[in-house]
Amino acid sequence: MREGKIGVAILGLGTVGQGVVEILSKNRAMICNRSGIDLELKKVLVRNLNKKRDIELLPEIYAQDYNEILQDKNINIVVELMGGLNPAKEYIEAALKAKKAVVTANKAVLANYAPELFALAREENVPLYYEASVGGGIPLIGPLNESLVGNNIKSVMGIINGTTNYILTKMSKEGRSFQDVLAEAKALGYAEADPSADIDGLDAAHKLTVLIALAFDTYIGLADIDTEGIRNIDILDISFAKNFGYAIKLLAIGKKTDSGIEAGVHPTLIPLNHPLAAVNDVYNAVFVNSMEVGELMFFGRGAGRYPTASAVVGDIVAAGRVISGSGKSLPRKFTTGKTKPISETSGSFYIRLMVADRPGVLGEIAAILGQNGVSVASVIQEGRDQDRVPLVFVTHEVNQGNLARSLQTIASLSCVKEVANVIRVERGY
Ligand code: NAP
Ligand code: HSE
């Protein structure tokens, strides 16, 4: 097993490149502790040294000549985050030929050149990883390559472009115009350098070629993917679709049928109660349907600096494991610990009391909650003139110790027949 540091070079210091640099530097010790791989950022290739960026690096880290990186024996992993076809393809090839592992987020390069790049990586026997190329931060390529390797996959279907999903969501929820929301998606770093790739469905088609190759062991070129974008979707269409009980989403679908593979990217109406209809904003979701495991859904942020960088860093570590010879064989190191006492944690709760229906009961109970710092978000009382009626509260976020103390006091009141139920409320993301 190879000991010591693994040298990393990043090509391109844009949205994703800067996120990767930040995660590598902030989480270096944690990554090393978890994986045994000590990743050292050696060089970052930029076009313009004077460009204002969100992060600053030591001057010696910057490079403008790719040969400096290729010739550096201490650089083991090249991370291509420039985008575009050329020189990205040539740089990836040169890195593989120099026996450096390659990590890329570039689905355009894969959609166009995957067969030759994969063949070269196999020939040189070096890793070529691309988790961030589909689904941004969602772990999807890894599971398809590993956990699901024993499955016969019948179809892959999903929302795999964050920019168009963001635009359709904002048009639908806020009635905003296409152009207005596009500008926002660009500012948030979701859109490609040329956003027409997103809007016209090409980016989703790029990603579908990657998914299909992994799912069906078959590379389908872009020309064979029937592709349509969202340019023609009007707010009116979204509103009519809603009236009929549908959402409009840009869906990418690959199916393996007895008569061949079907592949397409289209704006599609899906019922509002379908799980994909609830996938909004920059989120992506992919359904994989296989003979063995059945349906799986992968969901998460499909674009953006840190989600994408998260996937890239995962690949860098995976490549580091191969280079160091540790593979995945070493179990993780853990320390032993204890959880925080429940009384110190907080949460929001539904509380159902059974109380006597007489004047002043609500006031008595509310006073006890207030004295214990328990804030009530809503309250309902049902029934009338009975011995036991339900009095139901939903609290705001409260300290559990305070809640327990207040319920103990409440339970001892003569008007309270029973603390019938206390249920956690999780409001989700
Ligand atoms: P970006 O913000 O446009 O950054 C690309 C960077 O690469 C820019 O800083 C650019 O320099 C630099 N660059 C381009 N050509 C170069 C060259 N020949 N030499 C040196 N530097 C060069 O793009 P990004 O959003 O980070 O995307 C990077 C890659 O990740 C793309 O393949 C994209 O498709 C993929 N990706 C992005 C996301 C996302 O959410 N953004 C998600 C998944 C995958 P200049 O600044 O001088 O132009
Ligand atoms: N432009 C792409 C998107 C970036 O919006 O999904 C993530 O691949």
168, 248 Cβ separation under 8 angstroms: yes
CATH code that applies to domain 5-137+305-334:
3.40.50.720
Q: DSSP string spanning 266-288?
A: EEEEEETTSGGGG--TTEEEEEE
- The residue whose C-alpha atom lies closest to atom 19 belonging to ligand 1 is 47
251: burial class by Cβ within 10 Å (0-12, 13-18, 19+)? buried
Percentage above 90 pLDDT, the chain: 88
Catalytic residue among 43, 89, 107, 207: 207
Please tell me the distance from the alpha carbon of residue 176 to that of residue 107, in angstroms, as a whole number: 29
51: burial class by Cβ within 10 Å (0-12, 13-18, 19+)? exposed
CATH code that applies to domain 342-425:
3.30.70.260
Residues contacting ligand 1 via CB (< 6 Å): 11-17, 45-48, 51, 81-83, 87, 105-106, 132, 136, 189-190, 192-193, 303-304, 308
User: E strands along 13-112, which residues?
Assistant: 38-45, 62-63, 77-80, 101-104
What tens digit of pLDDT does each residue of 245-261 get?
Answer: 999 999 999 999 999 99
Token pair belonging to 294: 């059945």
Which of 163, 206, 279 maximizes ligand 2 atoms within 8 Å of its Cβ, making it the mutation to test the pocket? 163
Please indicate whether residue 340 is annotated as part of the active site.
no
Q: DSSP string spanning 205-274?
A: HHHHHHHHHHHHS----GGGSEE--STT--HHHHHHHHHTTEEEEEEEEEEEETTEEEEEEEEEEEETTS
Ligand 1 centroid to Cα of residue 52, in Å, is: 15
Pairing of strands 260-271, 226-227: parallel
Q: How many degrees, rounded to 5, is the angle at CA 200 between CA 199 and CA 203? A: 80
- Measured from the Cβ of residue 184, the count of other Cβ atoms closer than 10 Å reads 15
Question: Which amino acid makes up residue 162?
Answer: G
Nearest ligand to the CA of 189 is 1
Output the tens digit of pLDDT for each of the chain's 429 residues: 555 799 999 999 999 999 999 999 999 999 999 999 999 999 999 999 999 999 999 999 999 999 999 999 999 999 999 999 999 999 999 999 999 999 999 999 999 999 999 999 999 999 999 999 999 999 999 999 999 999 999 999 999 999 999 999 999 999 998 888 999 999 999 998 889 999 999 999 999 999 999 999 999 999 999 999 999 999 999 999 999 999 999 999 999 999 999 999 999 999 999 999 999 999 999 999 999 999 999 999 999 999 999 999 999 999 999 999 877 666 777 778 888 898 899 999 999 999 999 889 999 999 999 999 999 999 998 777 678 999 999 999 999 999 999 999 999 999 999 999 999 988 754
Token pair belonging to 138: 């969602």
Question: Which amino acid makes up residue 62?
Answer: Y
Q: Which of 99, 45, 49, 51 is nearest to 68 (CA)?
A: 45
Please tell me the distance from the alpha carbon of residue 92 to that of residue 123, in angstroms, as a whole number: 14
Which of 134, 188, 196, 308 maximizes ligand 1 atoms within 8 Å of its Cβ, making it the mutation to test the pocket? 308
199 lines ligand 2 (CB under 6 A): no
Ligand 1 centroid to Cα of residue 105, in Å, is: 9
Q: Looking at domain 142-301, which of 3.40.720.10, 3.30.360.10, 3.30.70.1140, 3.20.20.150 is its CATH number?
A: 3.30.360.10
For residue 3, the model assigns a pLDDT of: 58
Number of helices (H) and strands (E), helices first, in the chain? 14, 17
CA distances from 65 to 184, 302, 337 (A): 34, 32, 48
Largest CA distance in the chain: 87
Indicate the average pLDDT of the chain.
Answer: 94
Which of 11, 15, 102 maximizes ligand 1 atoms within 8 Å of its Cβ, making it the mutation to test the pocket? 15
For residue 328, the model assigns a pLDDT of: 65
For residue 73, the model assigns a pLDDT of: 97
Could you report how far apart the first and last alpha carbons of the chain are, in Å?
42
The HSE-up count of residue 318 (CA atoms within 13 Å, CB side) is 21
For residue 429, the model assigns a pLDDT of: 43
Ligand 2 centroid to Cα of residue 297, in Å, is: 19
What tens digit of pLDDT does each residue of 8-28 get?
Answer: 999 999 999 999 999 999 999
Ligand 1 centroid to Cα of residue 80, in Å, is: 9
162 lines ligand 2 (CB under 6 A): yes
Q: Which atom of ligand 2 is nearest to the CA of 192?
A: 1
- Measured from the Cβ of residue 262, the count of other Cβ atoms closer than 10 Å reads 15
What tens digit of pLDDT does each residue of 282-305 get?
Answer: 999 999 999 999 999 999 999 999
Signed CA dihedral, 183, 189, 193, 199: sign only: negative
136 lines ligand 2 (CB under 6 A): yes
Domain spans in the chain, listed from the N-terminal domain onward: 5-137+305-334, 142-301, 342-425
Please name the residue that has the structure tokens 């115009």: 177
User: E strands along 150-245, which residues?
Assistant: 153-159, 226-227
- pTM, 2 dp: 0.91
Ligand 1 centroid to Cα of residue 312, in Å, is: 13
Please tell me the distance from the alpha carbon of residue 328 to that of residue 242, in angstroms, as a whole number: 48
For residue 334, the model assigns a pLDDT of: 79
What tens digit of pLDDT does each residue of 199-253 get?
Answer: 999 999 999 999 999 999 999 999 999 999 999 999 999 999 999 999 999 999 9
For residue 332, the model assigns a pLDDT of: 76
